[in-house]
Amino acid sequence: MLGFRNNPRFGPPAEADSLNVQKGGTMEIERIHGGEPIISPIGCSWQSLCTANSSAILLERNSWSDGVLRPILGQVTLDDPRLKDGVVVSLYTGVGKMSEAQEKKQYKGLAFFTPAMDPVARLPMPVLLPAEEAHAIDRQGIEDVRLQLIDRTFHAWYCGFDGKDGGACLARSEDLLHWTKTAPLRGNINRTYNKDHVAFPEKHGGRWWMLHRPWGPEYPDVRNMVTRLAVSDDVAGPWQDAGEILRGFEHPERKMWTGAGPAPIPLGGSRYLLIYHTGSFFKDGYRQYDAGAALLDLGRYTAKNPEAVVVSRLEPLMVPETKWEKNADLRIDIVFPVGAFIHGKDLVLTYGAGDVFTCAARLEFAQLVDALEDSGLGNPYLAGS
């Protein structure tokens, strides 16, 4: 299984142009545009330092979506034949300052792409900003958004950060420009710091379900930072924890943890495809984030055995290998998936790269599902498991 040959712990980085296609397990994964970033820092303002971890969804073309997009992009842009199958909307990260006097903060802006991930437009100002109140949980940053469309309302699940503490939050919008926050989300999921949260796209058993990941001072051993389920009668909460489902594998060289990626993708019935990340520390403190995939079945959930919802895992699916994904200066190599959509036969992913850029990749959706059907739950990092 590919993943360690170009790891900084195991050998030198490979040249980017030789890594346009990577095998993740049995999967061929194409880095779009040869692996070059689709969103990079620009200028000297709110997006000058970092544009990593930018989410994306595909809006199919219809009278409703055109009504949302026309005031932003204009009819001339929407008439572009490359957009006939839809418009990719990215609520993207910008880290920087709005003015010289302001401290560094994290914002969210809007960028638009064709389904092939060619750029269409990028708005000059952010649309989702940290709160101005000194006591607000998100006064320092709107972090790691997972963008989702539920009942014609855009949901931005984000980690609010105040410079010290972080909590699971939500912002909602009907037009992509004006957002209403619930920060932090209500419920016991925020009794500790929380992040990497995103809802399933529809109700199951008459209730909403969500993935979330506690973190912070209560978890001095990062191996105990695990992906959990939460449940609510309303998509805005209150959200109550429903148990652990996805823990990092034991690894001979690393301490590993997990966190959800983009919203789970329905496969029919109660089954979903989940793209997630594994974070890890090597013994010398170097960090690495990889992408993985899991097959989930909410129909298998019981309060006594919540982890039964995980049918199989494929890990690592994608690992840092290009010059944009590796960051020796920060001692961190990152593939951090946060956006996903299906276009034709492909699953397209947007992911944070090297803690600086957002990149994109594609792989065959049906091939990934087939691979998960055969992969099981064994530990790929330990011989004989």
Q: Tell me: the pLDDT tens digits for 8-36?
A: 333 333 333 333 455 445 578 999 999 99
User: Tens digits of per-residue pLDDT, 309-361?
Assistant: 999 999 999 999 999 999 999 999 999 999 999 999 999 999 999 999 999 99
pLDDT at 193 over 80: yes
User: Tens digits of per-residue pLDDT, 105-125?
Assistant: 999 999 999 999 999 999 999
Q: Determine, yes or no, domain membership for 213.
A: yes
pLDDT of 9 reads 31
pLDDT at 53 over 90: yes
Q: What is the CA radius of gyration of the chain?
A: 20
Distance of alpha carbon 312 from alpha carbon 28, whole angstroms: 19
pLDDT of 2 reads 28
pLDDT at 104 over 80: yes
343 burial level (CB within 10 Å; 0-12, 13-18, 19+): middle
Angstrom distances, CA of residue 361 to CA of 243, 316, 340, 341: 32, 15, 10, 11
pLDDT band, residue 385 (cuts 50/70/90): low
pLDDT at 141 over 70: yes
pLDDT of 13 reads 36
Q: Which of these, 289, 280, 372, 369, lies nearest to 337 by C-alpha position?
A: 289
Q: Determine, yes or no, domain membership for 165.
A: yes
Mean pLDDT on 74-81: 98
Q: Determine, yes or no, domain membership for 206.
A: yes
pLDDT of 23 reads 47
**Domain boundaries, position 92:** 28-375
**CA angle, corner 344, sides to 358 and 1, nearest 5?**
60
Higher pLDDT among residues 11 and 277, named by residue? 277
Q: Determine, yes or no, domain membership for 246.
A: yes
pLDDT at 79 over 70: yes
Mean pLDDT on 234-240: 97
4-18, 66-80, 188-202, 323-337: which has the minimum mean pLDDT?
Answer: 4-18
Mean pLDDT on 39-46: 95
Number of domains forming the structure of the chain: 1
Q: Are 123 and 129 in contact (CB under 8 A)?
A: no
Mean pLDDT on 214-242: 96
Q: Are strands 271-282 and 287-297 parallel, antiparallel or unpaired?
A: antiparallel
Average pLDDT, rounded, for the chain: 92
pLDDT band, residue 383 (cuts 50/70/90): confident
Q: Determine, yes or no, domain membership for 17.
A: no
pLDDT of 384 reads 63
Q: Determine, yes or no, domain membership for 248.
A: yes
Q: What tokens appear for 106 in the block?
A: 């994290």
Q: Determine, yes or no, domain membership for 84.
A: yes
pLDDT of 100 reads 85
Mean pLDDT on 129-141: 95
- Omega before residue 217 within 30° of 0, cis: no
What is the CATH number for 189?
2.115.10.20
Q: Determine, yes or no, domain membership for 85.
A: yes
Angstrom distances, CA of residue 372 to CA of 67, 238, 272, 315, 317: 38, 33, 11, 10, 11
